[in-house]
Structure 1
């Protein structure tokens, strides 16, 4: 397997790791509160309003890891399926993952919406560029794939 493909798989693994880290942090915030009786199960059965702000931020961020990243996973799998992963795909993939980490860090700490929006929008732009490049490469430049 070429180095670029291995590094692309590592980018996908880094995004999965982010999702799992947020899940663990969320569990550490939520489970003890429910187990101690601080929060009644009935109060969280339908929504998250009973949780403190930190737990809600983590929960919202966890949900967010199943939005744009789903399109990222699809792009990575498409690139791997097509073969000949190039350095541009690799650069865009890692840029997206780095921006997702930045977005998550902002979201679960300061939650400064302006900064979070910039990180999110930059990630969206990079993901759009990745998809644009993949379509160009696979459909226009090498249509025989």
Structure 2
């Protein structure tokens, strides 16, 4: 049943909105605290304080590997590769994106962040294998 993949997909979309709200709040804080003026960021966002820049970087991340995730979900639904393993991999991927965000916009240790990112990419690769196997 394709609903197994709809739920993690909706969760991923929701998470992108959450990260967008975090970004907006951090930028608003930067303006209201006087840390940055609008004229300082009209061309480049480098003048924002670190918390706002981290949120912006993470928001950008939500349009990198998640694009592959969304494509794989659509292809999996089209090819019938919607079993429990695929659903588990989809949820694993979404979980890694959530944890990656919390680490990225929080303490931000690069080694941990990279490991979490890597697990997510492995989950995506396994999803790709699942789709590939379903069409062979």
With the length of structure 1 as denominator, give the TM-score of the two structures.
0.87
Does residue 1:91 correspond to 2:73, yes or no? no
Distance 1:31 1:134, change over 3 A: same
- Report how far residue 59 of structure 1 moved: 0.4
Q: How many residues align?
A: 136
Structure 1 runs of 4+ aligned residues shifted over 4 Å read 35-38
- Report how far residue 84 of structure 1 moved: 5.5
- Report how far residue 113 of structure 1 moved: 0.4
User: CA contact under 8 A between 2:89 and 2:123: conserved in structure 1?
Assistant: yes
Q: Where do 5+ consecutive residues of structure 1 fail to align? A: 141-145
1:64 match: 61
The CA RMSD over aligned residues, in Å, is: 1.5
**SS of equivalent residue, structure 2 residue 26:** helix
2:18 match: 21
Larger Rg: 1
Matches within 5 A, 1:26-41: 26-34=23-31, 38-41=35-38
With the length of structure 2 as denominator, give the TM-score of the two structures.
0.92
